[in-house]
Structure 1
Amino acid sequence: MGNVELHYLAAAFGFIDLLLLFSYFAWEALIDLVNSLGLAWWSKVETNTPKVTYMFGPFLTRKGLESSLPTFLNDLSNEFDIPASITHKELRACVIEPLTSEKSLLSYPSLEDEELEESQGPIAESSSGETKAKIFL
């Protein structure tokens, strides 16, 4: 190959790199937008030993969450030396930090509590002032 062909080849790979980078940032922006609108799919995963709650997500589709969740649950169960009871629930929510909590009780708004959803906007706070998620179904 001559220098001219190598120059065009390098330019083509540079262009492909820029397209991939743009696609990545566009995808992340889309996920952030969907999450902020409360349309993202999450899984609330709770363990009993130790008492930890994990928020796994966000995903654009429920199918995406369901395909990734078994790997996460398997990794989580392998993380503990003793058998842990793991429960999970799929939900649509706008979730912000913290995504993991070692507290025994997290006070997410109740799925049936319409009054709480109307009065507190997209983010609910517990009585202790901790930021939680507003859940949409």
Structure 2
Amino acid sequence: MMKSAPRTEAATVLLVDEDLEQCLNCKTKLESQGYRVVCTHSGREALAIFSCEKIDLVVADVQLPDMGGFDLIGTLASLRLPIPIVVNTSDAAFQFSFRSWAADAIIAKSPDCTELALKIAALLQAQTPQYVH
């Protein structure tokens, strides 16, 4: 078995959160770990960005000002692209909602975004082929 060539470009994370401070905190944390981060505070803008940029992973809050986070997640999931979707929410009840099934992970919001960064790394690593058969 041969190892695949390492990825030379930074993974791009689309971060969708109406909380400007949370968005900035997570963007700073993720960029310090080598990710390229595109932030938006609107579901509709997230869909527009998603349609014109190469996105490797989406992080979305469920409460957005212009459309529900559930609607955004559902729309992205319906595209059936192999792009992980992480829900980053302060609403603990969401973890038990059937609407969460479209997400690959659900993370409780935290000011330092450490758990989110760990989950993003794990999901992206799981997507990267380690060996060529």
For Structure 1 versus Structure 2, the TM-score category normalised by the shorter chain is under 0.3
Q: Which has the larger radius of gyration?
A: 1
TM-score by length of 2: 0.25
TM-score by length of 1: 0.25
